[in-house]
Amino acid sequence: MKREKAVTFKGTPMTLVGPEIKVGDKAPDFKCVNGPTTTVSLSDTPAKARLFSVVPSLDTGVCSMQTRKFETALASLKDKVASYTVSLDLPFAQKRFCADPDHPVTLLQPISDVHDHSFGKSYGVLLEGLALPLLARAVFVVDASGVVKYVEYVSEVTNEPNYDKAVEALKSIA
């Protein structure tokens, strides 16, 4: 399934591969990697409120800002929620980013969709037509039973998501 002109990237209309996830849908499964020999699927995440913050690359300003803003916003929830940053960055690069001594990221666990773009295709965030595969910017909140409670596909990939609404949705089910 493809959704033409679903988002823009630097003003250019882009096609997203995969379905449009809606509130009330069962969260699709995925298989990402978080190291050279380990994978993470939806069933590997704890059965509690979960936030999936999807970014094109942690090595860009807006993606870095998004990850750090969610890290700060979720600090008060600690272990009541599970939170993840999903990108196509290699796990090594994700871990390096999270280990930055000036801005450590410890609450959002990085997971990489680099292997087969399973997350991107299942959640409808894989950008089609770029020379380098990237995921569109999006946020998904999933409850303990695996039901999607909040979705935001950011219409312009270079813009930030609505942090307040995503955190509010997460807090309401935590």
Rounded Cα distance between 134 and 158, Å, is 12
Query: Is 134 in contact with 127 (CB distance < 8 Å)?
Result: yes
Question: What token pair was written down for 69?
Answer: 């803003």
Question: What token pair was written down for 15?
Answer: 């096609």
Specify whether 98 is catalytic.
Answer: no
Query: Is 113 in contact with 32 (CB distance < 8 Å)?
Result: yes
The angle, 0 to 180 degrees and rounded to 10, between the axes of the packed helices 61-73 and 163-173 is: 40
H-helix segments, 26-126: 61-73, 91-98, 118-123
Rounded Cα distance between 100 and 151, Å, is 29
Q: Which of 63, 86, 111, 125 is catalytic?
A: 63
Rounded Cα distance between 10 and 14, Å, is 10
Q: Which residue shows structure tokens 């955190």?
A: 167
Catalytic residue numbers read: 63
